[in-house]
Amino acid sequence: MIRALLADDQDLVRFGLRVLLDNEDDMQVAGEAADGLRTVELARHLRPDVVLMDVRMPGIDGIEATRRIMADPDLSATRVIVLTTFEVDEYIFAALHAGASGFLMKDTKPAQLLDAVRRVAAGDALLSPSVTRRVIREFVAGRGRPRRPHPSLTALTDREREVLILVAEGLSNDEIASRLVISPATARTHVSRIISKLSARDRAQLVVIAYQSGLLD
């Protein structure tokens, strides 16, 4: 059972999400919060699998709430999906940097949202190639964020660096396998090892690391 925490300051949004998730056999809404501080408090108390996190909320915003949740060692199994109104939002890169596993538009179709919750709960990330490029272009290259190579990059093999770049481009394991002419299982193994070596939470964090390290332009 996937246990979800809903964080949004709009009652109607939370109600809609609760109805949607609670109607699924494998999902359950564990709690709701209307502000950032309450979200962090409930996350620590309930330890949900997934938090659906609004960005603009009273108290502390969704970015800071995400940062605090991700920094809590007792919540290492919790994943955050940021909900946003605009696909290119000034907060999206900050949310990913804070530890979010990805983001969804608030007008996402119900079936896609449910699929996203399941994917993130299973350890995947929500970063399509087009969205990845737009976010990074706007908030890394476009705004001149300094490139700082990750200190553990030297621990990666040449093949792992190659896989890391493909992950940062938004390719799935199957697409990486096809590009490199390897099996999907081998691609998954490479990704898992990279996550471990770089002490990343998931694929979303690999994207941030790759761009901050200057591996892609």
H/E stretch holding 142 reads none
Q: pLDDT band at residue 47, thresholds of 50, 70 and 90? A: very high
Task: Report the SS3 class of residue 29.
Answer: strand
What's the confidence (pLDDT) of residue 93?
A: 72
Mean pLDDT of 121-141: 63
List, for residues 146-185, the tens digit of each pLDDT value.
667 888 999 999 999 999 999 888 788 888 999 999 999 9
Write the pLDDT tens digit of every residue in 10-35. 999 999 999 999 999 999 999 999 99
pLDDT for 55 beyond 80: yes
CATH architecture designation of domain 148-212: Orthogonal Bundle (1.10)
The mean pLDDT of 43-63, rounded to a whole number, is 94
Query: 2-126: what CATH class?
Result: alpha beta
For the chain, give every domain's residue range. Answer: 2-126, 148-212
Cα–Cα distance for residue pair 162/171, rounded to 1 Å = 12
* First-to-final CA distance of the chain: 40
Using one digit for the tens of pLDDT, what is the confidence trace for 73-122? 999 899 999 887 766 556 777 777 788 888 788 888 899 899 889 988 98
Query: What is the reported pTM?
Result: 0.75
As a whole number of angstroms, the distance between CA 177 and CA 202 comes to 18
Provide the residue type at 94 as one letter: A
The pLDDT score that the predictor gives to residue 90 is: 66
Q: Report pLDDT for 162.
A: 95
Neighbouring C-alpha atoms within 13 Å toward the C-beta of 142: 10
Q: Is the pLDDT of residue 143 over 60?
A: no
Q: Is the Cβ–Cβ distance between 43 and 5 less than 8 Å?
A: yes
Residue for token pair 């605090």: 68
Cβ atoms within 10 Å of 71's Cβ, excluding its own = 10
